[in-house]
Amino acid sequence: MLKEAIMELYTTLNNDEHNVSLEQFGEILETGDFVVRKFIVGKHSLLDGVLLKNSNIPVNILIGPLIRENEIILADGNTILLNNDILILVGKKDDIGIFKGQLKEITTLKKIKNFIFKLFRK
């Protein structure tokens, strides 16, 4: 699904002589030590329900197309991230790894906080 969506986007955009070919894009990524990774916004993710401009995604990580329910969206800062959205991230492997790790830790703390809050509400 993800591969097909990216290929469809690439094919749609690759109708101009100034566009970068898929091969050239791969070379650029390899030369610059960049990677393309997907990130799925989870139900309890800190990003669920957050405007993209308020997401605190580091500036050294680029956000590509967002895939929502098999639809490709070119998101802007006013796009609200939702559960099951797939973000395409481009950046250095280490930077994306650090960001995902930080987000996972924060999301886990949020789950623990919500669990404790529910215990004391009863």
Residue 2 confidence (pLDDT) above 60: no
- Listed residue (16, 9, 32) closest to 90, CA to CA: 32
Q: What tens digit of pLDDT does each residue of 61-70 get?
A: 888 889 999 8
CA distance 122 to 118: 7
CA distances from 99 to 23, 25, 45, 78 (A): 27, 23, 13, 21
- For the stretch 5-47, pLDDT in tens is 666 666 666 666 667 677 777 777 777 778 888 888 988 788 8
Domains of the chain (ranges plus CATH)? 2-121 (3.30.70.1450)
